[in-house]
Structures are given as C-alpha cells and as structure tokens.
Amino acid sequence: MGKQFDKARQLDDTYVMHTFARKPVEFVSGAGQWLIDDEGNEYLDFLSGIGVVSVGHCNSRVTEAVTEQANKLLHVSNYFYIEHRGELAERISDMLAHGTSEIWQTFFANSGAEANEGAIKLARLWGAKHLDGAYGIISAEKSFHGRTLATLAATAQDNKQDPFAPLPAGFGRTPLNDVDALAEALDGEIDGTKPCALMLECVQGESGVWPCTLEYLKAAREMTSDRNMLLIVDEVQTGFCRTGSYFAFQSYGVEPDIVAMAKGIADGVPMGAFAAKTELASLMQPGMHGTTFGGGPLACAAADATTKIMCEEGFLDHVNEMGTYLRNRLAELPFVTDVRGRGLMCGISLKKPVANQVVLNALRHGFVLNAPAVDIIRFLPPLIIEKEDIDALVDALPTIYEEVAQ
C-alpha cells in the first residue's frame, strides 16, 4: 500500500469511531462492476457496497441525474413539493403492485433502519386502532432489521442486542421456517401485549443468505390475515431486483401489508423508504412521523434514474440469468457444501471456517467479497454483472481458498 493509503488509514483510525473492522484497501473510483484503489489496482466487486450499487458504480445515467440536480437544488424541506419525488413514488407503487391497479403510498427516509422503524410505527398505529392497543412485533431468529433501538429489538440476534440492553419492549422472536412455532408466537404475548405484526425478510441476508420456504411465507400471510395482524416484509436487501423480481415477496406469490426498502433504490445515494396501500398508509397523519433529509431532491433524482433503468425490458431477465449462472458455477467447487439464494443474492457454506481469510485473500487477487459468518461467503454483485466476471471469480476461488485453508 502507498503513502496515500497510509495517510487515509492513520486519519481514519484516529478520528473515526471503530465500528467496522476495515479491510486494508482504499477505493477511490469505480466503473460498472469494477472498483479501483489508490494505487490503480482493479477489483471485481461482488459486494456492491452491501447490495447498494445496483446498476453499477458511477452509472452514467445516475451520475448525470445527480449532477444536474446538484447544480439546481441540493435541499429543501419536506414542507414543500419536491421535483422527482412524485414520479419516483408512482414508479415504486407500480413496481409493488406489479400489474395490478392498487396504489401504494411511500414515505422516504435515508436508510433501511429508518424504513423499518417507520414500518414498526405504522404497525403500532394499526394495533392501536384495530387490535385493542396491541403493539407486539414478532420477527424471525437470526433476522437483521437495523441498529436503531427499535429495529435492533426486532433484530433477533443476541450478540447484536446484548451490548445495548435493555431494549424497547414488545419484540418477540420465532424460528425461521417453523410454521408451528410461528402460530404459537402469534397467539402468545410479549411483555404483556399481543402481537400486531409479523416482520420478515424473504431472504435473510446478514446472517448468511437464508431464504424463507414457500410454505412458511404463505403460512405467515394466512396466519396474520386470520388474526387481523399485519405482515411487514423487510426488503431492504432483497428489494429493487436483487432477487430476480422487483421485490422478493413477488416470487413467493404473497402480498404483505407494509414493505420496507433501501440499499439498491438509488445506486449508492442514501435513501430508504417504507410503503403501504392507501387505507393503511392513511393512519400516518401530518406530524406523526417525519424526516429532515429523507426524500430530498438529490436522493430522489438518483432513485428516479436508478429505478427507470430497473424497469426497462430485459433487466430482470438478466438478473435471473446471471443469478442462475453464478449459483451453478459455485456448486461446481469441491470446498462448497451448500449454495443458496435468489437472483443475484447468493450465499455459500464452506467446508472449513475460513470465510474471513478467504475474503482478505480475495482482495489480494482482485475480488471484493463478504463473510457474514466464519463459514459463509455472501455474493451481492452489481446487477449488471456478466458471465465473464462470474467466470473470473469462480475460476480464481479454488486458489484463493486453498491458500488459506491448508
């Protein structure tokens, strides 16, 4: 590493909180599926900023939209109408409705945690009005819904929750893909209250890419409907074409009541959102919920350009084709014990618990990967990835693995 990296690391280590175990590289530019470090080395990106850079680094249409907007207006309060926001919300409604005439209304925020926080608040408004004040939220074990206190309480992972106890009351958990346990949880009590909503990821990302079964998600929809409870789907990581449909719930044939989203919505410009159909959304009245920066001109311009690309003919076909190709190629590797996922959200389990070492060694070979667990590698490439990029990675993985697994 050069002098520029040494200075960047020294400043970062001194003045930035140590909340991430950073890898020893500084990326200074990107193009499409490629990242370039401070010394000019190129890396194929199979992480895309944790599923954020959906249509590629510095996509020309997105950067042009952002540049044009930045030259006109960077910020104005949500007390006023904002250019691009209405068009963007209409497109998201169309993506959620997917061929039906239903209207979904969206609240724009800045992150996935904020999106889930808003979804929880809307669910509690429903419980107050329709379920005698019930405010409990059930989520699945090993889920991840954010790092605010409420979304952390919904994140059913002890290692993430314990340092910040006590957490807000009214959050319970149930094993993923266990229908009987789900029924018991929905009929039980949490901290003296009944549940008002079930909160699920169609594919759990942060714990290792674990999909819901079709039986489980359909049962979740049926059980919540029977009890007049809401089904919240956290599409922060799975949404915006990542799993091969506009939103992952669509590939299951299940319709949720509230959808939280973020990451891939604006190709790297911070934005989150949650949406519900008009009747439910109307429970949010002026003054109940708000944001200073959410849905601002710059983010809306970026998201408008990004989602236009996603809605073009052939985009989803490409995601599904590349996702199938990636999973098939990974299944050829002798040190891989399991391959799972949907679209271009893929996880593999390794024979040996060397995932962190594989990620570091992959950097040396020019690939950006992620290890959500000691024996799991997660792949979240830009959705524009091509077969030759997948071949380059998979052909290199045996050497990368063997160098650290001996």
Q: Which tokens in the block code for residue 265?
A: 């919505």
What is the per-residue pLDDT for 406?
82
Residues 108-130 have a mean pLDDT of 98
What is the per-residue pLDDT for 100?
84
Spatial contact of 272 and 236, defined as CB atoms under 8 Å apart: yes
Q: Which tokens in the block code for residue 98?
A: 């997917």
Q: Which tokens in the block code for residue 295?
A: 């849905």
- Whether 316 is in a domain gets the answer no
- Whether 192 is in a domain gets the answer yes
Residue in the structure block whose two tokens are 């010394």: 39
pLDDT (tens digit per residue) in 328-343 = 999 999 999 999 999 9
Judge whether residue 1 has pLDDT over 70.
no
For the chain, what is the mean pLDDT?
A: 97
What is the per-residue pLDDT for 401?
98
Instruction: Give one DSSP letter per residue of 208-220, joined into a string.
Output: T-EEPPHHHHHHH
What is the span of the domain harbouring residue 108?
A: 82-308
Residues 71-84 have a mean pLDDT of 97
Share of the chain above pLDDT 90, in %: 97
Backbone angles phi and psi of 229, in degrees to 5: -95, 165
- Whether 346 is in a domain gets the answer no
The DSSP bridge pattern shows strands 345-350 and 336-342 to be antiparallel
What is the per-residue pLDDT for 320?
98
pLDDT (tens digit per residue) in 60-72 = 999 999 999 999 9
Residues 143-160 have a mean pLDDT of 97
Q: What angle do CA 54, 272, 314 make, to 5 degrees?
A: 30
Q: Which tokens in the block code for residue 191?
A: 């901290």
| Domain containing residue 152: CATH number | 3.40.640.10
Report the first-to-last Cα separation within the chain, whole angstroms.
Answer: 26
Judge whether residue 227 has pLDDT over 90.
yes
- Whether 383 is in a domain gets the answer no
- Whether 22 is in a domain gets the answer no
DSSP state of 200: E
What is the per-residue pLDDT for 4?
83
Spatial contact of 349 and 376, defined as CB atoms under 8 Å apart: yes
* Cα–Cα dist 369/374, whole Å: 13
Judge whether residue 2 has pLDDT over 80.
no
Closest C-alpha to 197, from 217, 172, 218: 172
Confidence bin at 245 (pLDDT 50/70/90): very high
Q: What angle do CA 41, 51, 264 make, to 5 degrees?
A: 115
Closest C-alpha to 141, from 218, 223, 200: 200
What is the per-residue pLDDT for 239?
98
Length of the chain: 406
- Whether 390 is in a domain gets the answer no
Please give the helix or strand (H or E) that residue 119 lies within, else none.
helix 112-130
> With left for phi above 0 and alpha for psi between -120 and 50, is residue 247 left, alpha or beta?
beta
Residues 218-232 have a mean pLDDT of 98
What is the per-residue pLDDT for 3?
78
Q: What angle do CA 20, 32, 355 make, to 5 degrees?
A: 40
Number of domains in the chain: 1
Closest C-alpha to 335, from 235, 246, 402: 402
- Whether 294 is in a domain gets the answer yes
Residues 169-185 have a mean pLDDT of 98
* Cα–Cα dist 173/137, whole Å: 8
Residue in the structure block whose two tokens are 């994140």: 155
Judge whether residue 395 has pLDDT over 70.
yes
Please give the helix or strand (H or E) that residue 402 lies within, else none.
helix 387-405
- Whether 360 is in a domain gets the answer no
Closest C-alpha to 46, from 271, 322, 262, 285: 322
Q: Which tokens in the block code for residue 27?
A: 């990326």
Spatial contact of 201 and 234, defined as CB atoms under 8 Å apart: yes
What is the per-residue pLDDT for 65?
98
Closest C-alpha to 398, from 361, 346, 345: 361
Of the CA atoms within 13 Å of residue 198, those in its CB half-sphere come to: 33
Question: In angstroms, what CA-CA distances link 243 with 5, 202, 305, 320?
Answer: 35, 10, 20, 8
